Structure 1
Amino acid sequence: MPAISTNELKNGVTLELDKGLFNVVEFQHVKPGKGGAFVRTKLRNMRTGAVIERTFNAGVRVEQAIIDRRDMQFLYKEGDDFVFMDTDTYEQINVSPVALGDAADYLVESATAQIALYGTEIVAVEIPASVELTIAQTEPGIQGDRVSGARKPATLQTGKVIQVP
């Protein structure tokens, strides 16, 4: 794995530290008037989602993890798992709901997602920032309640319940 200097850290870089995979969420180069420069970072564990703060001396080399990002298409749900197909090789993989997180509530068949792989391990699933879903069911609005901006629950085609005007 390539090592990079802490001076080269930026948001989105993935590091391998203490046998874990961490994504740089925030970083700040600090050069105090007295003493050596250092880099203060916030790192998100890609396996657990926990955010930690870590300080590195400037110029120290850290291991950068090689993450393979692939565009995949969601095919169907099999039991609890979600089945995706690689659009280049047509290889199918099963993704657990834990790896998907909240993205599972917005997936419909044939939707595309970007899956981040570390070797053969799925470490992240990213769906597009906006998706089009249809509302499967909603309650009728209260007659005459237009001033208060009342909201009512609506069930999406995926089963997720949201509030709509």
Structure 2
Amino acid sequence: MASTNDVRPGQALDLEGGIFTILEYQHVKPGKGRAFVRMRLRNLETGQVLDRTFRAGEDVSQAIIDRREHTFLYRDDLGFYFMNLDDYGQFAMAPDEVGEASDYLVDGMNVTLALYKGNPISVDLPASVEVEVTYTEPGVRGDRVSAATKPATTQTGLVVQVPLFINIGDRIRVDTRSGSYITRA
């Protein structure tokens, strides 16, 4: 148990049967009444973001989250397969556990997995990934009014708006936080 005065953003809490990470933390001391703490929390299992208010000094249960480097091996109909880089143990995660990270996972890519009591609960991606364009329409020069972009489908199935000069087979860098094109790789 820890006091709400001792926790900080980035730490994990065990609340109401779920594991939450603290995104924002604000200690409020009003002119009248008791101090309280406002937190914005993200459920690591579902990705849901919620705001909670606690009394200052209230005890909360901290969750011990172990973050380890893993290599993404492959995906199939049953799930996504990862290998632990320490002991080379392999395990699968269901598509709903991986969530939106599935659009960015490329075979052989190193990712950080958040483990709670030995079970994977979320995938932490790098800030950007390099993917190959598998389909895009040819860009015609004169068919635009302003900065021209076109949709491109990547090897993972992600659809990204890219400049006209990107062709099938090109490798591009995509921001994993926003899903937007960064540069040609």
Which TM-score applies when normalising by structure 2? Answer: 0.82
Q: Give 1:148 deviation, angstroms.
A: 2.1
Alignment correspondent of 1:45: 43
Runs of 5+ in structure 2 lacking a partner? 164-185
Alignment correspondent of 1:132: 130
CA distance in 2, matches of 1:138, 1:93: 34
17, 21, 24: which one aligns with 1:23: 21
Alignment correspondent of 1:161: 159
Mapping 1:53-92, distance limit 5 Å = 53-92=51-90
CA distance in 2, matches of 1:46, 1:64: 14
Alignment correspondent of 1:107: 105
Deviations 1:24-55 (A, max 9, x none): 12121001122221111122222222222221
CA distance in 2, matches of 1:150, 1:59: 54
Q: Give 1:159 deviation, angstroms.
A: 2.2
The number of residues matched between the two structures is: 163
Deviations 1:117-156 (A, max 9, x none): 1113321101111111121222111242354222212121
Alignment correspondent of 2:149: 151
**What is the identity percentage for the equivalent residue pairs of Structure 1 and Structure 2?**
53
